[in-house]
Amino acid sequence: MDILNYIINSKNEFGFILFTWQTLVGSLLGAVSPLVIILLFEKYKHRQETREYIYYLHRIVVDQINSLIEIRTTIERFLASAIKAVIENVDKNPDYAYSVDGISFPLFSVRSIPDDVNIKSSGSGYVDNKVARIYALSKDLPHIMDDTRLQLKDTLELNAKIVFDKINAPDVQKDQYKKI
């Protein structure tokens, strides 16, 4: 330690250079350390936000999947019971009689994924692309369900018009009605 003090305190050139470098390195560390701490804190904060966003995406996608399963089950039950009953009624009617039935498309809640899922990135291009695709499809789902409901209504109204106006013979009308 005495040698180091001698070198620093001496007026020789080596001691002066060492003292100058110590001052420069100390100044740099003093200036850079808050920046490094801020960058590390921001990185940690970004990582936490990304984790929360991925958890949020997980919850939304699972909710959308559950909703789709409920919709599918409801439509399958509708087809198995109501539509099947209409077809059976058409088949039970005599050949000389027209067939007109009323049926209601089931009501269920159809909601799309919130708009804020496309604002952030999950950090994975693959996941972000899949989320964007699910988002676009979920926006179409309410329209598809409304369109299906309207098509069923239009089919029933068209069949009633054919029957009441006696446009086709009863056997042709019933055959067309079952195909539609």
pLDDT reported for residue 5: 62
pTM: 0.66
Tokens of 93: 């009617």
- Residue 3 has a pLDDT of 60
pLDDT bracket for residue 15 (50, 70, 90): low
| Percentage of the residues of the chain whose pLDDT score is greater than 70 | 88
- pLDDT tens for 105-126 read 888 778 888 888 888 888 888 8
CB 71 within 8 A of CB 110: yes
Number of domains forming the structure of the chain = 1
Q: What is the pLDDT of residues 19-77, one digit of tens each?
A: 666 777 777 778 888 888 999 999 999 999 989 999 998 998 898 889 889 999 999 99
Residues sharing a CB contact under 8 Å with residue 168, sequence separation 6 or more, in sequence order: 162, 176
Which 3 state secondary structure label does DSSP give 82?
Answer: helix
| Chain center to CA of 59 | 10
Residue 90 neighbours by CB distance under 10 Å: 19
Residue 87: predicted pLDDT: 81
The whole domain housing 128 covers 2-179
